[in-house]
Amino acid sequence: MNESGVRLKKKSSPYGVKVPERKLTAQRPIERAPLPERAIISLHQNIGAASQALVRRGDRVLTGQKIGDSDKLISAPIHATISGEIAGTTMVINPATARPVEALVVASDGADEWVQLEPVENPEALSPKEILDRIREAGLVGLGGAAFPSHIKLAPPGDARIDTIILNGCECEPYATSDHRVMLECGEKVLSGLNIIRKLLSPETTYIAIEDNKEDAIEHMEDLIVAMGFKEDIKIVPLESKYPMGAERILTKLLLGREVPIAGLPLNVGVVVHNVSTTKAIHEAVVEGKPLVERVITVTGAVNSPKNLLVRFGTPLGSLIEYCGGIVGKANKVILGGPMMGFAQFDLGFPTMKGTNSVVVKEDTIVTEQCCIRCGRCIEICPMHLMPTLLAKYAKAGRYDQCKAAYVDNCFECGVCAYVCPAKIPIVQYIEMAKRELAKRAAKK
């Protein structure tokens, strides 16, 4: 522990890999992206149920107005991200499920006229139910990638005792810097949101995990913790910069020595993990009354001017790339998220969503899958102690029951197995295929 008493000793993991960093935007301050002329707003931007439209073609909507909702428990409302007219509907592909979902098209009126927000003067006076209601109505989901509705995550079942909160500031994808900049430029909101979570869950311990390649963020958050009076309640744990250090299962094991059960969640072992951009959004929802209509996105790689942009959801990818000076060189691939766990996109008209934290443009070369040489590198590197080569073999042969028996559900698809594979086997894609087939079978029962 250092002199302030906030920073603990650095931890490292024996698993994972060192990937070449391309943090081109680490020192680029956040800029606001131009508002889109047409926002394509998907009605399914979370794990769980999709929303149903609350508006019709021709309706005028205001920024922040709720335009989609569901009566299902695991769901999150959708809000207009610009003001204008509902120009119709379209279909977009949900990157996480590869399934088409309905989207509303909003034609901008150029005014960006907001609904009347309802901030609170004294957040401490809010009851837990009032806090959760404000989080739910703001449409908050986890912004670290999973997009699980935040109000559900922050209301664990009655028999679940949460003793530890981990705030995830690792951001281990090699290109992304959006969370890094959020900590540097919006640290007060991040800590305010974290304190709201602490009020809801009453944990014994609260950690902020930040990789050591973000020393400026570590120092800044450390200073803020002291200045805001959280010195006794919140501790920072620096971590060795390694992929996939930011996975919640890895953080839970590394910081607390607790194994998350197969197909389970950290709450099963008394832990809740939240991303720093999520806690910023929690502050904005609870204190400012602001719905989730935008987030910071890193646009980087083979573009003329990589940037960190505050982007309204529904903005087409092509607009962001154009704002960053356009594509340079022979780049032929656009990835949502990052090269390790992201999703390649074939349409630059595809809109940003709540789960979009970065847009990476890069040149990709065609590789040929070869036969497994049984080197064992994927097994040695797997952070979940699985046998990825066996899972890929079973999936290729259609032996999905054997994939299940080999704990395929415990894979969180970090991609390190495929990264180190000398035979260039797309192991993660085979695992994803097996999971989809097993899910189909389960749904038919």
The pLDDT assigned to 262 comes to 83
CA 42 – CA 64 distance, rounded (Å): 15
* SS percent in the chain: helix, strand, coil, step 5: 30, 20, 50
Residues whose CB falls within 8 Å of the CB of residue 179, separated by 6 or more in sequence, listed in order? 169, 171, 275, 276, 277, 296, 357
Q: What count of other Cβ atoms lies within 10 Å of the Cβ of residue 444?
A: 6
- Which whole number is the average pLDDT over 86-103? 88
Residue 1 predicted with pLDDT over 60: no
HEC secondary structure over 23-60: CCCCCCCEEECCCCCEEEEECCCCCCCCCEECCCCCCE
Distance CA(230)–CA(188), nearest Å, equals 11
pLDDT tens digit sequence for 316-370: 999 999 999 999 999 999 999 989 999 899 899 999 999 999 999 998 888 899 9
Output the 3-class SS for 378-430: HHHHCCCCCCHHHHHHHHHCCCHHHHHHCCHHHCCCCCHHHHHCCCCCCHHHH
Q: Look up residue 293 and give its two tokens.
A: 């209509």
The span from the CA of 445 to the CA of 443, in Å, is: 6
| Dihedrals phi, psi of 246, to nearest 5 degrees | -80, -5
The predicted structure's pLDDT at residue 134: 98
User: Alpha-carbon distance 180 to 258, whole Å?
Assistant: 27
Q: Is 143 a residue whose pLDDT tops 60? A: yes
What is the percent of the chain with per-residue pLDDT over 70, rounded to a whole number? Answer: 99
The candidate with the shortest Cα–Cα distance to 203, out of 251, 269, 271, 138, is 271
Q: Given a cut of 60, is residue 223 above it in pLDDT?
A: yes
pLDDT at 386 over 60: yes
Instruction: Return the C-alpha torsion angle 12, 17, 23, 29, nearest 10.
Output: -40
Provide the mean pLDDT of the chain: 94
- The pTM (predicted TM-score) of the whole model is 0.95
* pLDDT 10s digits, 36-78: 999 999 999 999 999 999 999 999 999 999 999 999 999 999 9
- pLDDT-based confidence at residue 2 (cuts at 50, 70, 90): low
The Cα 388–Cα 291 span in angstroms is: 41
Query: What's the mean pLDDT in 281-294?
Result: 98
29 class by beta-carbon count within 10 Å (0-12 exposed, 13-18 middle, 19+ buried):
exposed
Tokens 């991200």 -> residue: 81
pLDDT of 323 reads 98
| pLDDT the model gives residue 9 | 94
> Which domains, from first to last, does the chain contain?
124-286 (3.40.50.11540), 377-444 (no CATH)
